Amino acid sequence: MNNKVVVLTGGGGVLGKTMALALAKKGAKLAILDLRKDAAEKVAEEINQQGGIAIGVSANVLKKESLLKARTEINSELGSCDILINGAGGNHPKGTTSNTHLLLEDLENKDNDFKTFFDLDSDGIQFVFNLNFIGTLLPTQVFAQDMVGKEGCCILNISSMNAFTPLTKIPAYSGAKAAISNFTQWLAVHFAKVGIRVNALAPGFFLTDQNRSLLTDSEGNPTQRGKTIIEHTPMGRYGEPEDLIGTTEWLCGEGSKFVTGIVVPIDGGFSAFSGV
Ligand code: NAD
């Protein structure tokens, strides 16, 4: 990792921050890119205080102009990008149904907050698709230009469990992450002759802000969904952000130099377990 320039989108978030701190400890120079400037700068500050090298950069992964501006700033402060981690992503309540299965009585439910499949609005679905898919495609278009023809470059995308088998209630997020796994394979083939490897992590269940309201109630107790997840995770717990570090270092380092186009589950066995 020594002196490799890593651009990490969504680096101000829970999982991004943990990956950033770990890569900085291995000698990489980090550009923490996030829509929330303060969050990006806070992570960069923490890395610098620990003796690493990092800058916080404010950019929107859905706007190419914003990413091009970020690239100019990163190139002049740290150098050209060697490794891109597409960490920005997530779900939104607008792409989420209230029920697991449609029941006849759901159609009579007059509660405005109760959303069946028929109530999902296309703007909400589009928001989730764009954030995850376009928010991976645009940074790749911008930062892979630094990597073409250079040695030791790679891209790491973030897929999810729901890409293998969709999770109930979240059709938009499941479809968008399936698109990320598919795009990872497509890009791996497309970039194979110019020296850029492309792989993805598929994290299992990590208790973070984006899923806290689905997995815990207002008092912090597990919801039925939270309990079901743990029951279906053979290792019997949620993931900790630190669980992503080993695979991230492997896929971004020399040890995986003949590995491209894979999606690695980091899930305590969730994707291997049929539930029976
Ligand atoms: P998080 O919400 O803590 O972090 C996401 C970060 O992305 C935030 O800092 C946010 O400000 C930033 N962001 C949002 N929109 C942006 C935009 N338009 N431009 C730039 N930055 C933007 O989420 P997290 O749990 O750390 O998730 C990181 C990634 O891992 C996401 O792709 C998520 O879908 C994926 N993931 C998470 C889990 C989980 O259990 N938490 C599981 C599987 C996959």
pLDDT surpassing 80 at residue 77? yes
What is the position in ligand 1's atom list of the atom closest to the CA of 60?
Answer: 19
pLDDT band at 208 (very low <50, low <70, confident <90, very high): confident
How far CA 65 is from CA of 39, 72, 137, 175, 240, in Å, comes to 21, 11, 14, 27, 35
Taking residues 116-138, what's their average pLDDT?
97
Question: What integer pLDDT is reported at residue 171 of this predicted model?
Answer: 97
pLDDT band at 139 (very low <50, low <70, confident <90, very high): very high
For 218, residues 6+ apart whose C-beta sits below 8 A from its C-beta are none
* CA–CA distance, 206 with 208 (Å, rounded to integer): 6
Strand partners, 122: none
Residues 168-196 pLDDT 10s: 999 999 999 999 999 999 999 999 999 99
Answer with the residue of higher pLDDT: 138 or 213.
138
243 CA distance to ligand 1 centroid (A)? 16
Q: Is the ipTM of this complex over 0.95?
A: yes
Half-sphere exposure of 251 (CA within 13 A, CB side): 27
What is the position in ligand 1's atom list of the atom closest to the CA of 39?
Answer: 9
Answer with the residue of higher pLDDT: 249 or 113.
249
pLDDT surpassing 80 at residue 39? yes
pLDDT band at 75 (very low <50, low <70, confident <90, very high): very high
* CA–CA distance, 226 with 217 (Å, rounded to integer): 10
Best residue for ligand 1 mutational test, from 35, 37, 173 (most atoms within 8 Å of Cβ)? 35
Listed range (52-61, 85-94, 198-207, 209-218) with the worst mean pLDDT: 209-218
Sign of CA dihedral 233, 235, 240, 246: negative
Which of helix, strand or coil describes residue 27? Answer: coil
Task: Provide the token pair at 48.
Answer: 């610098």
For 12, residues 6+ apart whose C-beta sits below 8 A from its C-beta are 32, 34, 35, 36, 38, 39, 40, 42, 43, 56
How are beta strands 83-86 and 53-58 bridged, if at all?
unpaired
Best residue for ligand 1 mutational test, from 33, 34, 92 (most atoms within 8 Å of Cβ)? 34
Q: Which residues of 29-66 are buried (b: 16+ CB within 10 A; e: fewer)?
A: bbbbbbbeeebbbebbebbeeeebbbbbbbbbbbeeeb
Task: Provide the token pair at 192.
Answer: 């194979």
What is the pTM for the complete model shown? Answer: 0.97
Strand partners, 156: 85, 199
pLDDT band at 5 (very low <50, low <70, confident <90, very high): very high
Kindly report the three-state secondary structure assignment for every residue of 58-96.
ECCCCCHHHHHHHHHHHHHHCCCCCEEEECCCCCCHHHC
Neighbour order of strands in the sheet with 153-158: 53-58, 29-34, 5-9, 83-86, 153-158, 196-203, 263-266
Taking residues 193-202, what's their average pLDDT?
98
Residues 223-276 pLDDT 10s: 998 999 999 999 999 999 999 999 999 999 999 999 999 999 999 999 999 999
pLDDT surpassing 80 at residue 210? no
Question: Can 173 be counted among the known catalytic residues?
Answer: yes
What is the position in ligand 1's atom list of the atom closest to the CA of 61?
Answer: 19
Task: Provide the token pair at 209.
Answer: 């802000």
Chain-centre distance of CA 74, in angstroms? 21
pLDDT band at 207 (very low <50, low <70, confident <90, very high): confident
Atom 34 of ligand 1, residue of closest alpha carbon:
90
pLDDT band at 76 (very low <50, low <70, confident <90, very high): very high
* CA–CA distance, 124 with 263 (Å, rounded to integer): 27
Answer with the residue of higher pLDDT: 211 or 64.
64
If we measure between CA atoms, which residue out of 88, 68, 83, 79 comes closest to residue 11? 88
Taking residues 49-75, what's their average pLDDT?
98
If we measure between CA atoms, which residue out of 262, 252, 264, 148 comes closest to residue 202? 264
* CA–CA distance, 272 with 4 (Å, rounded to integer): 35
Question: What integer pLDDT is reported at residue 112 of this predicted model?
Answer: 86
Question: What integer pLDDT is reported at residue 129 of this predicted model?
Answer: 98
pLDDT band at 211 (very low <50, low <70, confident <90, very high): confident
265 lines ligand 1 (CB under 6 A): no
95 lines ligand 1 (CB under 6 A): no
